[in-house]
């Protein structure tokens, strides 16, 4: 029965931000050999697939999301040989590797853009999106960049503007040009031929733009100081109908390599998000589900509503997935507090569908305050509060002066957290009730218990407004997950008699429990095997 599910349905994805994971060569920036040195840890932790944020040659205007060459490795991270060695070792451990694929834009230093910019007659001119100035000489329309300001940059030499939905050093490719598609499909083949197990595709819903270049509506509630990406409704820059054709082409290419995974980064409301599975389930396997990342209130009622809404709207045969954090959003332990974020980990790892864990979240890592002079992220250029540097701080391996991320005396590219001496892998591995022990136990149970990785999901009504309770079931075995999303004890009465607590978020209780009447402590959650 079990093998009807593929590895990416049963497994757990772990996101590595390579600059911040492990520095093996003393330059303060993480690298591929560093990741390779830490594979024992990842295997011990119990994750199945590693997604690496971009590792290709890049001037690092957007820390790798500005790619200057899709078919090589950035020297800061290593070489193609280092990559092959890493992939080999990942596979040896029966883990998978997923690469970040960034098709919407290149670096302005990519040879394609250099050629495109050289003249209006260049054969690569149409590989990017060039437009004449508006009548007043200004930008062709009102489109704004996700990082702030106009999305158009004037090129004085050729007298036209090019489009960049992100940084000025990230010109958007013209995906309506069949040559661009072919070139990018060759890139995908290059990595699939090398043996990678799939892709996470960057801003996949933005790849195609309106042919008439109509103005986007401004969001009336947006004010200066709000996140720049929230300024306009991207009705002409995002989610254009033709993008689905491109995604289907990519998916069929990926499928021709066997059992690979194809994940799309998509920030859209649920009905539109669902369209990215494809009418025939022939688009992305997993359109990232960012509901937890975007939830305005971490309240049991809202959490349940978002899980139930998602479960209800999922098309038949579509596989769910859950994300708590990533390199673009504040860390979960910072958003909801470290105590409550243990409950969030139990939620993430006991729901139906593929979870994605962001590196360091398993330690309870928090955002790190980065002084303005040390900030790097282009999203923070107009307003440092929107910088994503705080959630990208170096992984905390041990209590040494470089936190085990870099050698003694080396300055890491972003500052270390102040509390790394308490919250680090080495220490938490030894502590019976640490955050890491919790996550490792959750991952172990998720793997052992079929109901958790492939079972059904149903939420149940409970009297306490502060608790979210659901049942996972498979082959006659039932488990109930009861989460107290508040910092006060809650009395619960469940429609079952007896059970056994397999794991509690606090790691303070296991064993028999009478389910008709019990108290779930503040910031705690129970995973219970039901006896009756
Ligand atoms: C995605 C990435 C983000 C990047 C942007 C542009 O949203 O996750 O880090 O800045 O795309 O590539």
Structure tokens at 400: 């040494």
Residue recorded with tokens 């024992």: 40
C-alpha 77/C-alpha 139 separation (Å) is 37
Please check whether residues 306 and 253 belong to one and the same domain. Answer: yes
Mean pLDDT, range 1-15, rounded to an integer: 87
Q: Is 172 in the pocket of ligand 1 (CB under 6 A)?
A: no
* Ligand 1 atom closest to the CA of 167, numbered from 1: 6
- Reduce the DSSP state of residue 437 to 3 states and report it: helix
pLDDT in tens, 73-94: 999 999 999 999 999 999 999 9
C-alpha 288/C-alpha 200 separation (Å) is 9
Mean pLDDT, range 249-255, rounded to an integer: 98
Please check whether residues 268 and 371 belong to one and the same domain. Answer: yes
* Ligand 1 atom closest to the CA of 166, numbered from 1: 6
Q: Which of 390, 418, 442 is the last residue of a domain?
A: 442
Query: How many A from CA of 71 to the centre of ligand 1?
Result: 19
CA 202 to the chain's CA centroid: 10
Query: How many A from CA of 203 to the centre of ligand 1?
Result: 7
In a domain, 170, yes or no: no
Q: Count CB-CB contacts under 10 A for residue 495.
A: 12
The tally of domains found in the chain comes to 3
pLDDT in tens, 459-492: 999 999 999 999 999 999 999 999 999 999 999 9
- Reduce the DSSP state of residue 128 to 3 states and report it: strand
In a domain, 132, yes or no: yes
Please check whether residues 193 and 237 belong to one and the same domain. Answer: yes
Question: For a pocket test of ligand 1, which of 54, 203, 290, 392 has the largest count of ligand atoms closer than 8 A to its C-beta?
Answer: 203
The strand pairing partners of 96, in sequence order, are 49
Please check whether residues 150 and 239 belong to one and the same domain. Answer: no
Measured N-to-C along each axis, helices 178-194 and 80-92 cross at an angle, to the nearest 10 degrees, of: 60
Please check whether residues 190 and 208 belong to one and the same domain. Answer: yes
The yes-or-no answer on residue 428 being catalytic is no
Domain ranges, residue 513: 455-530
In a domain, 321, yes or no: yes
In a domain, 515, yes or no: yes
C-alpha 408/C-alpha 431 separation (Å) is 25
C-alpha 60/C-alpha 67 separation (Å) is 8
Are residues 357 and 321 in contact, defined by beta-carbon separation less than 8 angstroms? Answer: no
Please check whether residues 139 and 261 belong to one and the same domain. Answer: no
C-alpha 281/C-alpha 275 separation (Å) is 9
Q: Is 229 in the pocket of ligand 1 (CB under 6 A)?
A: no
Mean pLDDT, range 156-180, rounded to an integer: 98
Please check whether residues 502 and 468 belong to one and the same domain. Answer: yes
C-alpha 488/C-alpha 398 separation (Å) is 33
- At residue 2 the predicted structure's pLDDT band, cuts being 50, 70 and 90, is very low
pLDDT in tens, 352-374: 999 999 999 999 999 999 999 99
Q: Is 328 in the pocket of ligand 1 (CB under 6 A)?
A: yes
Q: Give, using CA atoms, the residue closest to atom 3 of ligand 1.
A: 328
- Reduce the DSSP state of residue 501 to 3 states and report it: strand
Q: Is 389 in the pocket of ligand 1 (CB under 6 A)?
A: no
Please check whether residues 264 and 133 belong to one and the same domain. Answer: no
Question: For a pocket test of ligand 1, which of 110, 166, 287, 288 has the largest count of ligand atoms closer than 8 A to its C-beta?
Answer: 166
Q: Is 102 in the pocket of ligand 1 (CB under 6 A)?
A: yes
In a domain, 228, yes or no: yes
Are residues 431 and 437 in contact, defined by beta-carbon separation less than 8 angstroms? Answer: yes
Can you give the CATH number for the domain in which 300 is found? Answer: 3.20.20.80
Query: How many A from CA of 202 to the centre of ligand 1?
Result: 6
Q: Is 62 in the pocket of ligand 1 (CB under 6 A)?
A: yes
Please check whether residues 434 and 483 belong to one and the same domain. Answer: no
Structure tokens at 114: 């250099």
The yes-or-no answer on residue 202 being catalytic is yes
Q: Which of 391, 415, 442 is the last residue of a domain?
A: 442
Q: Give, using CA atoms, the residue closest to atom 12 of ligand 1.
A: 65
pLDDT at residue 382 is higher than 90: no
Active-site position among 265, 361, 428, 466: 265
Please check whether residues 118 and 147 belong to one and the same domain. Answer: yes
Q: Taking Cα atoms as reference points, which of 320, 293, 294, 326 lies closest to residue 308?
A: 320
- How buried is residue 154: exposed, middle or buried, by Cβ count under 10 Å (0-12/13-18/19+)? middle
Q: Which of 415, 442, 469 is the last residue of a domain?
A: 442
Q: Is 208 in the pocket of ligand 1 (CB under 6 A)?
A: no
Q: Count CB-CB contacts under 10 A for residue 10.
A: 17
In a domain, 290, yes or no: yes
Active-site position among 202, 275, 283, 362: 202
Please check whether residues 157 and 62 belong to one and the same domain. Answer: no
pLDDT in tens, 105-149: 999 999 999 999 999 999 999 999 999 999 999 999 999 999 999
Please check whether residues 99 and 119 belong to one and the same domain. Answer: no
Can you give the CATH number for the domain in which 511 is found? Answer: 2.60.40.1180
For 340, the enclosing helix (H) or strand (E) is helix 338-350
Entry pTM:
0.98
Q: Give, using CA atoms, the residue closest to atom 9 of ligand 1.
A: 328
The strand pairing partners of 511, in sequence order, are 501
Are residues 237 and 216 in contact, defined by beta-carbon separation less than 8 angstroms? Answer: yes
Q: What percentage of the chain has pLDDT greater than the value 90?
A: 98
For 185, the enclosing helix (H) or strand (E) is helix 178-194
Query: How many A from CA of 346 to the centre of ligand 1?
Result: 27
In a domain, 98, yes or no: yes
Strand blocks (E) in 10-94? 13-16, 49-52
Are residues 449 and 479 in contact, defined by beta-carbon separation less than 8 angstroms? Answer: yes
In a domain, 168, yes or no: no
pLDDT at residue 1 is higher than 50: no
């Amino acid at each position: 029965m079990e093998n009807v599910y593929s590895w990416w349905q049963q497994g757990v994805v772990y996101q590595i931000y390579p600059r911040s994971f492990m520095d093996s060569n003393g330059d303060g920036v993480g690298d591929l050999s560093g990741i390779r040195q830490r594979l024992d840890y990842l295997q011990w932790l119990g994750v199945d697939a590693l997604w690496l944020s971009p590792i290709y040659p890049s001037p690092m205007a957007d820390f790798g999301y500005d790619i200057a060459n899709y078919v090589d490795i950035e020297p800061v991270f290593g070489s193609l040989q280092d990559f092959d060695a890493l992939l080999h070792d990942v596979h040896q451990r029966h883990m998978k590797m997923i690469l970040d694929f960034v098709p919407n834009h290149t670096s302005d230093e990519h040879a394609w853009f250099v050629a495109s910019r050289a003249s209006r007659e260049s054969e690569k001119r149409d590989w990017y999106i060039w437009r004449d100035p508006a009548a007043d000489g200004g930008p062709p329309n009102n489109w704004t960049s996700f990082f702030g300001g106009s999305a158009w940059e004037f090129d004085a030499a050729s007298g036209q503007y090019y489009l960049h939905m992100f940084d000025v050093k990230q010109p958007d490719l013209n995906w309506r040009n069949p040559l661009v598609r072919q070139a990018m499909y060759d890139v995908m083949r290059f990595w699939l031929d090398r043996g990678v197990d799939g892709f996470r595709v960057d801003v996949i819903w933005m790849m195609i733009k309106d042919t008439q270049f109509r103005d986007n509506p401004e969001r009336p509630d947006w004010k200066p100081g709000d996140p720049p990406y929230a300024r306009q409704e991207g009705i002409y820059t995002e989610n254009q109908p033709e993008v689905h054709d491109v995604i289907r082409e990519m998916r069929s290419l990926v499928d021709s390599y066997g059992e690979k995974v194809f994940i799309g980064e998509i920030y859209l409301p649920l009905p539109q998000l669902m369209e990215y599975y494809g009418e025939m389930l022939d688009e992305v396997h997993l359109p990232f589900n960012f509901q937890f990342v975007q939830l305005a209130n971490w309240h049991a009622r809202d959490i349940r509503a978002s899980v139930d809404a998602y479960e209800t709207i999922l098309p038949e045969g579509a596989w769910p997935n859950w994300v708590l954090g990533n390199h673009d959003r504040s860390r979960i332990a910072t958003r909801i507090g470290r105590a409550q974020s243990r409950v969030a980990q139990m939620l993430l790892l006991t729901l139906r569908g593929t979870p994605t864990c962001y590196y360091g979240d398993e330690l309870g890592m928090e955002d790190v305050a980065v002084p303005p002079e040390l900030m790097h992220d282009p999203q923070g250029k107009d307003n440092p509060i929107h910088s994503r540097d705080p959630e990208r701080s170096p992984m905390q391996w041990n209590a040494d002066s470089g936190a085990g991320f870099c050698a003694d005396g080396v300055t890491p590219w972003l500052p270390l957290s102040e509390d790394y001496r308490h919250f680090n892998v080495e220490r938490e591995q030894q502590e019976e009730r640490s955050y890491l022990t919790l996550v490792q136990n959750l991952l172990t149970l998720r793997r052992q218990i079929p109901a958790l990785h492939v079972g059904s999901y149903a939420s149940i009504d409970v009297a306490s407004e502060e608790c979210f309770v659901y049942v996972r079931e498979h082959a006659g075995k039932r488990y109930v997950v009861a989460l107290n999303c508040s910092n006060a004890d809650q009395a619960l009465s469940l429609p079952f008699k007896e059970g056994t607590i397999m794991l509690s978020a606090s790691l303070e209780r296991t064993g028999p429990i009478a389910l008709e009447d019990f108290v779930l402590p503040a910031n705690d959650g129970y995973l219970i095997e039901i006896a009756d």
